[in-house]
Amino acid sequence: MASTDLQLDWLRAFVAVVDAGSLTAAAPLVHRSQSALSMQLKKLEDAIGRPVLSRGPRLLELTPSGHELLGYARRVLALHDEAVAALRGPALTGRVTLGVPDDYAVAYLAPVLRSFAARHAGVELTLVCEQSTLLIPKLQRGELDLAVVTRDRPQRGTFLFHEPLVWVGAAQHEAWRREPLPIAIYEPGSRARRDALAALAAHGRAHRIVYNSSSLPGHVAAVESGLAIAALTRCSVPPGLQVLGERHGLPALPAMDVAALRSKASSGSPAVDALHEQLIQTLRRPGLN
């Protein structure tokens, strides 16, 4: 008879897939290959005797049994992490201020912060969501302890992963057919702005800026209304918008280098040390530098 014990690795895999929305996105979070993650989920479902996930129109979705299991899984993992932290030594205390752009916060930070908070409940976290062009100077001035940003120059911080930059439009408006091309663009100094304008210039595509802002929701609104197309990080593209490419007369865009940065002023802080390590362990994709 098969064992009904629910191993921690299976539960951690299950929670990671729920938080990330797919096997592909969850695999680096638990440092497993996609096939190994799938096998852990299969073992979990075999032990329970019922499926916990089903494939929806876009992403994996929880079954009724999955919904029931999720709360228990989170509590089991939180208690396990609390026990490990207690046995390792005195609980961490202090404050950490973390900066991150909106798109990276929504797509990548939830599992990092949830795991950190479970292990270090005595640390007060403050999250500052702004564009990388604002976060980097703030970190240099010591106003932030840590930041996850798009690199503005090579070798800055600890490299985590490449984030694709893509053109996005609303299918019902077909703004990409207009001449000159109407574009929504990020603020001066941003890497996304610089790369998007350079790609259009190299492609010889006439364009005009009709919306200029550091606001991601503003860019999405401009695209959804048919005012313009925009260059967005792939992780921030909402389901209702279309990713555009060469068949729409648009040039390919380079990927963004995403890195973790730490302020000099935070040196010697065990709380900052712990979150910095958590960011790198969770978000850094193997085989990249």
The 3-class SS string of 32-59 reads: CCHHHHHHHHHHHHHHHCCCCEEECCCC
Beta-carbon contacts of 56 under 8 Å, excluding residues fewer than 6 positions away, are none
CA-CA distance, 262 to 67, in Å (whole number)?
Answer: 37
pLDDT one-digit tens code per residue, 8-59: 999 999 988 887 778 887 887 787 888 999 999 999 999 999 999 987 655 6
Residue 238 has pLDDT above 70, yes or no: yes
CA-CA distance, 63 to 147, in Å (whole number)?
Answer: 36
Find out whether 107 and 236 touch, Cβ atoms under 8 Å. Answer: yes
pLDDT one-digit tens code per residue, 128-172: 999 999 999 999 999 999 999 999 888 889 999 999 999 999 999
Strand 181-185's sheet: what is its strand order? Answer: 207-212, 181-185, 229-233, 165-169, 242-244
Distance of CA 278 to the CA centre of its chain: 14
Q: 8-88 — its CATH code?
A: 1.10.10.10
CATH 3.90.550.10 fits 94-162+257-283, yes or no: no
Residue 149 backbone phi and psi in degrees, to 5: -140, 165
CA-CA distance, 13 to 52, in Å (whole number)?
Answer: 12
Beta-carbon contacts of 4 under 8 Å, excluding residues fewer than 6 positions away, are 47, 48
Beta-carbon contacts of 149 under 8 Å, excluding residues fewer than 6 positions away, are 99, 100, 101, 132, 135, 136, 157, 258, 259, 261
Residue 288 has pLDDT above 60, yes or no: no
Domains of the chain, by residue range, sit at 8-88, 94-162+257-283, 165-254
Nearest CA among 171, 221, 170, 163 for reference residue 192: 163
Q: Cα angle vertex 101, ends 98, 107, to 5°?
A: 95
Q: Residue 289: pLDDT band by 50, 70, 90 thresholds?
A: very low
Q: Residue 232: pLDDT band by 50, 70, 90 thresholds?
A: very high
Residue 109 has pLDDT above 60, yes or no: yes
User: How confident is the model at residue 287, as a pLDDT?
Assistant: 46
Q: Give the domain 165-254 fold.
A: D-Maltodextrin-Binding Protein; domain 2 (3.40.190)
Beta-sheet strands, E only, within the chain: 53-55, 60-62, 94-100, 123-129, 146-150, 158-163, 165-169, 181-185, 207-212, 229-233, 242-244, 256-262
Q: Residue 249: pLDDT band by 50, 70, 90 thresholds?
A: very high
Buried b / exposed e over 265-283, threshold 16 CB at 10 Å, is ebeebebbebbbebbeebb
User: In CATH terms, are 8-88 and 165-254 the same topology?
Assistant: no
User: How confident is the model at residue 182, as a pLDDT?
Assistant: 98
Find out whether 222 and 231 touch, Cβ atoms under 8 Å. Answer: no
Evaluate if pTM is beyond 0.85: no
CA-CA distance, 161 to 144, in Å (whole number)?
Answer: 21
Percentage, residues of the chain above pLDDT 70: 94
DSSP 257: E
Q: pLDDT higher for 260 or 77? A: 260
pLDDT one-digit tens code per residue, 177-210: 999 999 999 988 899 999 999 999 999 999 999 9
Nearest CA among 25, 31, 27, 73 for reference residue 52: 73
Find out whether 247 and 89 touch, Cβ atoms under 8 Å. Answer: no
